[in-house]
Chain A
Amino acid sequence: MENSPSNTNAPYTLLPEDPFPARPLASFRRPLKVFGATVASVVFLMSLVGLIINQSPVPPAKNDHHGSDPLTSKATSFSEDAERLPTGVSEGVSAKSYPSVRDRLSYNWTNAMFSWQRTAYHFQPEKNWMNDPDGPLYYMGWYHLFYQYNPDSAVWGNITWGHAVSKDLIHWLYLPLAMVPDRWFDIGGVWTGSATLLPDGRIVMLYTGDMANSVQVQNLAYPANLSDPLLLDWVKYPDNPVIVPPAGIEYDEFRDPTTAWIGPNGTWRLLIGTKVNSTGMALIYETTNFTTYEAAPGVLHAVNGTGMWECVDFYPVSTNSSEGLETSVVGPGVKHVLKASLDDLKMDYYAIGTYDPVSDTWTPDDPEADVGIGLLVDYGRYYASKTFFDQNTGRRILWGWINETDTDYDDLAKGWASVQTIPRVVTFDNKTGSNILEWPVEEVESLRLDSTEFDDILVEAGSVVALNISSATQLDISVEFEIEGSDALEALEVPEAIIECATTQNRSTLGPFGLLVLADESLSELTPIYFHIAKSTNGSLTTLFCADETRSSKASEIFKKVYGGPVPVLNDEKFTMRLLVDHSIIESFAQGGRTVITSRVYPTEAIYGAAKLFLFNNATGVNVTASLEIWQMNSAFIHPFPLEELGGGRFSQK
């Protein structure tokens, strides 16, 4: 896809003047030129007409549930792309990419720009499409990650389970595909699922199978060989499916089984998300053997108006310690988090509440901030998150899928799409009592190389300060901001509350201020990550934490918006941020992980050595001081597992 600029730098030597100009030849050439120009214009006009006709979208056939045939879909020409529905919609799952009628106006990306976008230490397959993380678990010394994967293309389709292992959640090794859609009960795709580790050491994997007629069923799979620490081979239970859509539930709105937990009577329970009209809900299924199930009479919880609940997750958190809890734990000092990925909004919502194991119901602590109407797991480009209990270190760990915000066309051109976040530890925030905290696993710190410290840098109102560091595309940044004269803030004339994050050009007395990430020297491209403080209607100060992607790239086809949400800042707390910058992904954590924003950016100039880091303060009424520690981050060198070492010829490509 190289688009080399026309070479205007070659030295041009004038030919010596021809003392005998060949006039007869010139006079012959002129009619030929005119003729050639006419033909060329006609051809051009005809092709333009042809192109215009081709561009009008063709509506998909009503009974065509498959869209493009997954087994043969390859990188398509871009006129086909302009006609295609967002991938996934025709198959009955949420659209995986933002539709763009401006696909054809793709930026002239160079190979250098595209390869810069690959992350250095985030998990992503070597190529092609990935979406939801599946069945994460720890077993016999290895962390396992499975993921929705299309082995054939950089857009969604032909979904299999990719597989990778790691000893430390950071250095991953690719393994062969764990499951492919090769049975009648998952021929349309091996969709999302979760693992349950049984007390006797067995592993049970439940996943959604998409059938040929688009019916969504739940299937059971388990490792072929529990003494294989890599869990390479998986067996699908021969009598699948084990759960089919019940009466009253739409056949294509019934998916993503959760990890199971044990109830008081010794039976296991798990949840499957669905919706009835526009009420999103979590259905409960009970089992003793994981092969036969009974639908519970009630639902765990439902919220009107939230639409389909995908990737439901349900887990306990300790309110009085930072220890993670195994999924079946209940009792005093325990609250339960219920989370759903809302299909209609493509956002992950959660709420904290109380689970009653006897009635199998869950009640939110704050009904005004119920699932789907309150807090987001991550305020950025983030979806389909899933937690697991890491019994090795006693942590509750959260995975999240980060889609691209460029176009399908760009993804096909560069050959890949999507990354996973760095796994995050989830704990209950017992200072606020009303939210969870998410923080990158400390193993990510093993990637830290050298660091640069900056103490008490003054950033005056309306100014930008450059930070002199060696390189700015792979960073772990911790920064603390203090507002000068912060004891007098209450007395300041602050305009009415800003309810939502807006672009950084919206200046007010107390903000925005923060960092400019992946910015070039001239600030022609920049991604501000910042705080913006306003006075709320009752006179107290509220803080927003935001990421403004609107000027992150000159490429026009990219979906660029301002992301973010409120973050609680308690008395005597400074404003703190931690950022993990890794090429085209930025994960930003405010106040120790109370509010998190994941961003995808695709600069065209602020790349490689041209990317810089700045502090900025667009507030009109205050100066801020900032102290930072900035670590250069190493690559995680994610690569295939050296399987040839394992011999036996078992690893022919599926």
Chain B
Amino acid sequence: MKGFFFLTFILLFHLIVASPWAPALSLRKRVDLIKKTCKKTPYPDLCISSLRSHHIRSGATVHDLASMMLKLTLANATDTLSYMEALINQAEDPQLERPLDYCAELYIPVVKYTLPQAIVAFNKTQYGFAEYGVSDAGDQADTCENDFSKSKVSSPLGNRNKLVSELCDVAVAIIKMLQ
């Protein structure tokens, strides 16, 4: 009698303790996919930290990672543009305002057309179009950053352009994996 209860207890114990392993196993699989995918991009650490901080549903595929990366890129570009516009509104130094205006002109079509069109195309599996758009968005961020160095004004945008540019490179790399 005692042996039976003991066995049951052991069995129940194992069942209760073992169950957390199931989700832990799928988490590792998800994380591994992010790691595996990001390792093949030009900026693996940025890729991993960006994707990890957003909820990736279980059963996510590389397609989902690409989709998430595109949304992140658009969000970052939109934030950067808003920041620029705020700086322009309060700018007193015309030397600083000119490159900011120039950058805003580059970012506006990116945020309004280029990245949204790339996302629409991506969702329709039109990967070439999507790649072209994201790549162009990255070029605009680079051009904005270069304009500050050319006009010898120190950029008030910090690392924002670099971030957008690198996210674009990562997004392009992940999209390429799907083709």
Q: Please list the residues of chain A having a beta carbon within 8 angstroms of any beta carbon in chain B.
A: 140-142, 167, 173, 229, 392-393, 446, 642, 644-647
Contact = CB atoms under 8 A, between A and B. Distances in A.
Given A141-B109, A229-B113, A229-B117, A167 B126 contact: no
Contact of B114 (A167, A446, A644, A646): A167
A252 to B, nearest CB: 42
A647 B126 contact: yes
A645 B128 contact: yes
A446 B117 contact: no
Contacts of A646: 121, 124, 126, 128-129
A646 B136 CA distance: 18
Contacts of A173: 132
A645 B129 contact: yes
A646 B130 CA distance: 10
Nearest to B146: A446
Given A141-B117, A167-B136, A446-B143, A392 B109 contact: yes
Contacts of A392: 105, 108-109
B129 A642 contact: yes
Interface in B61-115: 105, 108-109, 112-114
Contact of B105 (A393, A644, A645): A393
A392 B127 CA distance: 26
Interface residues of B, number: 17
A498 to B, nearest CB: 41
Contacts of A642: 128-129, 132
Given A446-B143, A642-B132, A647 B105 contact: no
A434 to B, nearest CB: 29
B26 interface: no
Interface in B112-168: 112-114, 117, 121, 124-129, 132, 136, 143
Q: Which of A167, A229, A392, A446 has the most CB of B within 10 A?
A: A167
Contact of A141 (B105, B112, B124, B128): B112
Contacts of B129: 642, 645-646
Given A167-B136, A393-B105, A642-B132, A141 B125 contact: no
B114 A141 contact: yes
Q: Can you list the 10 inter-chain pairs with the closest CB atoms, starting with the nearest?
A: A141-B113, A645-B128, A642-B128, A645-B126, A141-B109, A167-B136, A140-B113, A646-B126, A141-B114, A645-B129
A242 B32 CA distance: 64
Contacts of B127: 645
Contacts of A644: 128
7 contacts: A140-B117, A642-B132, A645-B121, A645-B127, A645-B128, A646-B121, A646-B124
Q: Which of A141, A446, A642 has the most CB of B within 10 A?
A: A141
Nearest to A139: B113
Nearest to A230: B129
A647 B125 contact: yes
Contacts of A393: 105
Contacts of A141: 109, 112-114, 117
A647 B128 CA distance: 11
Q: Which of A173, A229, A645 has the most CB of B within 10 A?
A: A645
A143 B109 CA distance: 12
Contacts of B117: 140-141, 229
Nearest to B110: A141
Nearest to A642: B128
A580 to B, nearest CB: 20
A152 to B, nearest CB: 28
A645 B128 CA distance: 5
Given A167-B109, A393-B105, A646-B128, 5 more contacts: A392-B105, A392-B109, A642-B132, A645-B126, A645-B129
Nearest to A392: B109
Nearest to B117: A229
A617 to B, nearest CB: 33
A146 to B, nearest CB: 20
A451 to B, nearest CB: 13
A446 B129 CA distance: 22
A646 B126 CA distance: 5
A643 to B, nearest CB: 8
A229 B129 CA distance: 11
B128 to A, nearest CB: 3
Nearest to B136: A167
A647 B123 CA distance: 13
Contacts of B143: 446
Nearest to B115: A141
Contacts of B136: 167
A446 B139 CA distance: 10
A29 to B, nearest CB: 69
A414 to B, nearest CB: 30
Nearest to A141: B113
B97 to A, nearest CB: 16
A247 to B, nearest CB: 46
Contacts of A647: 124-126
A644 to B, nearest CB: 7
A558 to B, nearest CB: 39
A598 B126 CA distance: 40
B125 to A, nearest CB: 7
Contacts of A229: 113, 117
Nearest to B108: A392
Nearest to B130: A645
Nearest to B127: A645
A570 B112 CA distance: 44
Contacts of B124: 646-647
B131 to A, nearest CB: 8
Nearest to B143: A446
B151 to A, nearest CB: 13
Nearest to A227: B120
A644 B121 CA distance: 12
B16 to A, nearest CB: 51
A203 to B, nearest CB: 15
Contacts of B132: 173, 642
Contacts of B121: 645-646
B148 to A, nearest CB: 16
Q: Which of A173, A229, A647 has the most CB of B within 10 A?
A: A229
A446 B147 CA distance: 12
A635 to B, nearest CB: 16
A393 B109 CA distance: 10
A141 B108 CA distance: 9
Contacts of A140: 113, 117
A70 B143 CA distance: 46
A383 B105 CA distance: 32
A393 B105 CA distance: 7
A647 B121 CA distance: 11
Contacts of B105: 392-393
A392 B113 CA distance: 11
Contacts of B112: 141
Nearest to B112: A141
Contacts of A645: 121, 126-129
